Amino acid sequence: PAPRTVLLTGAAGGLGTLMRDLLPAYGYDLRLLDARPVEGEPGAITADLGDLAALREAVRGVDAIVHLAGISLEAPFEKILRSNIEGTYHLYEAAREEGVGRVVFASSNHAVGFTPRPRGATPLSDSALIPIDTPHRPDTFYGLSKSFGEDLAQLYWDLHGLETVSVRIGSCFPEPTSVRMLSVWMSPEDGARLFHAALTAEDVGHSVVYGSSANTRLWWDLTSARALGYDPRDNSESFAPKLLAAEGELDDTNPDHAHLGGHFCTNPPIWPF
Ligand code: NAI
Ligand code: 15L
């Protein structure tokens, strides 16, 4: 049966806030969790991913988990270790102990951020797109934690039969704000479509997919996402004239533009907390 009750971790964050608005239209009953209080949601669970007992209680009785909680930028290794590596492990342990069947894991393009940016005329030919089985090449400790999360998901599928869809999200914000984002942008509405597909597709085992809209300037292969039933409707190209006028085309001599992960490879934004 299709999942109905879904735990959304990271519900106070940017993506969590967008998904709190968009996912209920697909028929989900969301249970919310974050280390911070979730504004306007007095019923949300305030708990840290370090608290295994709280996580066990939070996952009890849910059909699936959309796991967005964690440090979403670069940080000292010890902080990444606590929130993203140990925290994700705790969540999987809680899910296993409570018999939850599926997790949708917010992985990131930064798990493969040091992959060279594909070059060629727009749109790229299918053979030039970055395949989903490209080796992990994290660009930061943050990206490393997402590589770990994908491997953890694979282990819990192989060992325990707990399913995961790992979504290597590009940039999911209301609008793309740079020329790079024209290639990796996922509109919030397409994000909800992809999470819904990941929650409802049958027999996903551990599937890894890229998360973006159907952008004209796409860098990666969306085949594995489409195989879940994902049918993106949006395309960043309508934002291209404004962004290109401000920044120009990507520059082959600029190190910030050399890799999939963009400036995360050179000067990553640092988690402020
Ligand atoms: P965000 O930083 O706005 O939200 C993350 C949330 O996780 C915050 O509300 C924070 O309080 C919570 N959190 C952090 N550490 C926690 C802990 N130890 N225990 C409990 N909660 C904790 O990030 P955003 O943009 O909403 O991203 C959500 C997820 O999606 C993150 O895992 C991020 O890595 C991933 N992602 C997001 C992308 C995007 O474009 N927004 C792109 C790629 C991946
Ligand atoms: C991410 O993984 C970050 O969480 C998000 O804030 C964006 O920076 C995104 O990648 C990106 O690559 O644009």
Q: What is the Cα–Cα distance from 259 to 248, expressed in whole angstroms?
A: 17
Q: Are 229 and 197 in contact (CB under 8 A)?
A: yes
Q: How far is the CA of 233 from the centre of ligand 1 (A)?
A: 24
Please report, in tens digits, the pLDDT of each residue of the chain (273 residues total).
Answer: 788 999 999 999 999 999 999 999 999 999 999 999 999 999 999 999 999 999 999 999 999 999 999 999 999 999 999 999 999 999 999 999 999 999 999 999 999 999 999 999 999 999 999 999 999 999 999 999 999 999 999 999 999 999 999 999 999 999 999 999 999 999 999 999 999 999 999 999 999 999 999 999 999 999 999 999 999 999 999 999 999 999 999 999 999 999 999 999 999 999 999
Q: How far is the CA of 100 from the centre of ligand 2 (A)?
A: 28
Return the ligand 1 atom nearest residue 72 CA.
Answer: 34
Burial class (CB in 10 A: 0-12, 13-18, 19+), 180: buried
Instruction: Tell me which residue of 136, 150, 175 sits closest to 260, measured CA to CA.
Output: 136
Write the residue with the smallest CA distance to atom 3 of ligand 2: 72
pLDDT digits (tens, 9 = 90+) for 119-128: 999 999 999 9
Instruction: Tell me which residue of 226, 222, 205, 227 sits closest to 103, measured CA to CA.
Output: 205
108 lines ligand 2 (CB under 6 A): yes
pLDDT digits (tens, 9 = 90+) for 204-213: 999 999 999 9
The ipTM (two decimal places) reads: 0.99
109 lines ligand 2 (CB under 6 A): yes
Return the ligand 2 atom nearest residue 264 CA.
Answer: 12
Q: What is the Cα–Cα distance from 72 to 142, expressed in whole angstroms?
A: 7
Question: Ligand 2 pocket: which of 15, 17, 110, 142 to mutate (most atoms <8 Å of CB)?
Answer: 110
pLDDT recorded at residue 2: 82
pLDDT recorded at residue 199: 98
What does 177-239 look like in DSSP terms, one character per residue? Answer: -SHHHHHHB--HHHHHHHHHHHHH-S--SEEEEEE----TT--B--HHHHTTT------GGGG
pLDDT recorded at residue 255: 96
Which residue is listed with tokens 């984002």?
181
pLDDT recorded at residue 231: 98
Write the residue with the smallest CA distance to atom 16 of ligand 1: 70
Domain 5-265, architecture per CATH: 3-Layer(aba) Sandwich (3.40)
180 lines ligand 2 (CB under 6 A): no
* DSSP-derived secondary structure letter, 228: T
Q: What is the Cα–Cα distance from 48 to 120, expressed in whole angstroms?
A: 44
Is 92 among the residues known to form the active site?
no
Q: Where are the domains of the chain?
A: 5-265
10 lines ligand 1 (CB under 6 A): yes
Q: How far is the CA of 170 from the centre of ligand 1 (A)?
A: 13
> For the packed helices 87-98 and 141-160, what is the interaxial angle rounded to 10 degrees?
20
Q: Which of 26, 28, 89, 142 is catalytic?
A: 142
